[in-house]
Structure 1
Amino acid sequence: MSSTAKADILARLRQRTHTSPPPERDFSVLEARQWTPAERIERFRQHLESVQGEVIRTTESELNQAILDRLSRSHVRRLLLGRNSPFQAGLAAAKSGDLELHVYDQPIETWQSELFNEIEAALTTTLGGIAETGSLILWPTPDEPRLMSLVPPMHLAVLRVDQLHDTLLQVVREQRWSQGMPTNALLISGPSKTADIEQTLVFGAHGPRELVVFLVDESGSGA
């Protein structure tokens, strides 16, 4: 292309005064589905269990025992809790046998080998859940670092029914994410999985092999 042709093109571009307005943003396909509480719970359960996650319905008063029973079925002896975990006192009082409760209360550099080689399960809180995709929302903090949900072979998470939302957009709006987010937010939809190897879905390749969600119904109608 000659220098004259280039100059002509650039001149025409500079003379343009008309610009198209940006398209109107339409989030209607992401709006809340307005499911009933029962429909929301069932959709969440179906989606999570379709990828080998597990949902255990329970009540506030039965939560500690439900956690201990599930750990017992998997013969877990070393459970990791976050610093200032709301479950520590109740589990410590209710546990029996040789279950050890460990607390994530030191820098990873001082106990990395123990975390990766000895801890069998970790129990975390959640910020909420998404019924549309069967996802958990975790916002890691110094008390519950993200490695708790990424390293141990089993991840146990407590989700309360009143924190279960229809869609991600609903969560973002109601919890006002635009006003401040952590440096790392996690959306967890089942155990760790990959299909990179021969396009075959493999679970537990890069993280927890099991995800167990304790769905706590404050109304006392857990089953």
Structure 2
Amino acid sequence: MSARDNILQRLRAAGSTRQPLEPDIEGFYAAAKATRPASTRAARIALFCEKMAFWRGEVVRVTRDTWPEKLLELCCAKGINSVLYGEHSEHAAALQAAGISGLQPYARPIDDWKGELFSEIDAGFTSTRGGIAETGTLILWPDNREPRLLSLVPPIHFALLDADKLYDRFFDAISEQGWSAGLPTNALLVSGPSKTADIQVTLAYGAHGPKELIVLLLVNPGEVQ
């Protein structure tokens, strides 16, 4: 019997007598957490900002009272003439009251205005379900109020993130938010603007989505920098 045959025989024998153990995922992360310093809100915010900057995303700290004003300021500074948003989203009223030029609701079937969407819209605005500090990642769950194209097509993506929904790791997010109870048809993890290095191993931005990602991070007044 060859060495190969001997190995395969032993593997088959082992598989027929013992069932593989289910991975103890919660135990693994609990053990990893025990070896790390205690997590704090300030540490999560700082790490998220650091990681997002690494991915060439921009984080702007704002409060619940000032974020519409800051968004208007950013649109003016960047020469943005049109911003697409969800007409029935949670933040629609605040956006409408901000006086943003060219604010446009996503209110038509895509086939009715595909050309306009791809050639005339400067920016899209979305809310987020949370963020992951460890990787500098946004969590988006698109739905009929804020379709996927809001964060995919416009050259600039504005995302509103509540610092209260920043998690240390992806596992913490899915555990604390109860993802096992039901997932949407499309859950997104976004780290920085769209990027690719497929062509001559040269990193290019905006190949498959926005060239810029600007996160409006909702913090307490004393945390604004």
TM bucket by the smaller chain?
Answer: 0.7 to 0.9
**In the superposition, relative to structure 1, how do residues 30 and 90 fare at CA in structure 2: closer, same or farther (>3 Å)?**
same
Deviation at 1:35, TM superposition (A): 1.9
2:181 alignment partner in structure 1: 179
For residues 164-189 of structure 1, give each alpha carbon's deviation from its aligned partner in whole angstroms, at most 9, with x where no partner exists: 11000001111111110011100000
> Which of 198, 208, 211 is the matching residue for 2:210?
208
Deviation at 1:211, TM superposition (A): 0.1
For residues 60-93 of structure 1, give each alpha carbon's deviation from its aligned partner in whole angstroms, at most 9, with x where no partner exists: 1111111011111110010001121333333333
For residues 119-154 of structure 1, give each alpha carbon's deviation from its aligned partner in whole angstroms, at most 9, with x where no partner exists: 100110000000000000000100101111010000
SS at match of 1:106: coil
Deviation at 1:23, TM superposition (A): 5.6
Distance between the aligned counterparts of 1:30 and 1:152, measured in 2?
Answer: 39
TM-score by length of 1: 0.86
1:147 alignment partner in structure 2: 149
Distance between the aligned counterparts of 1:191 and 1:180, measured in 2?
Answer: 28
> Which of 54, 57, 60 is the matching residue for 1:53?
57
Distance between the aligned counterparts of 2:33 and 2:115, measured in 1?
Answer: 45
**In the superposition, relative to structure 1, how do residues 161 and 17 fare at CA in structure 2: closer, same or farther (>3 Å)?**
closer
Q: How many residues align?
A: 210
Q: Map 1:1-223; keep pairs closer than 5 Å.
A: 18-22=17-21, 24-26=23-25, 27-28=28-29, 31=33, 34-95=38-99, 99-218=101-220, 221-223=223-225
Distance between the aligned counterparts of 1:181 and 1:30, measured in 2?
Answer: 26
**In the superposition, relative to structure 1, how do residues 194 and 18 fare at CA in structure 2: closer, same or farther (>3 Å)?**
same
Cα RMSD after superposing both structures: 2.3
Deviation at 1:118, TM superposition (A): 0.6
Identity %: 45
**In the superposition, relative to structure 1, how do residues 162 and 199 fare at CA in structure 2: closer, same or farther (>3 Å)?**
same
Distance between the aligned counterparts of 1:72 and 1:38, measured in 2?
Answer: 30
Distance between the aligned counterparts of 1:30 and 1:145, measured in 2?
Answer: 36
**In the superposition, relative to structure 1, how do residues 219 and 180 fare at CA in structure 2: closer, same or farther (>3 Å)?**
farther
1:4 alignment partner in structure 2: none
AA aligned opposite 1:107: P
**In the superposition, relative to structure 1, how do residues 25 and 65 fare at CA in structure 2: closer, same or farther (>3 Å)?**
same
Unaligned runs of 5+ in 1: 1-8
Deviation at 1:218, TM superposition (A): 4.0
For residues 88-113 of structure 1, give each alpha carbon's deviation from its aligned partner in whole angstroms, at most 9, with x where no partner exists: 333333316xx111111121111111
Task: Using the TM superposition, name which of 150-159 and 85-94 deviates more.
Answer: 85-94
TM-score by length of 2: 0.86
Unaligned runs of 5+ in 2: 1-7
Deviation at 1:22, TM superposition (A): 2.1
AA aligned opposite 1:36: T
Distance between the aligned counterparts of 2:219 and 2:45, measured in 1?
Answer: 10
Distance between the aligned counterparts of 1:213 and 1:17, measured in 2?
Answer: 53
Distance between the aligned counterparts of 2:51 and 2:198, measured in 1?
Answer: 22
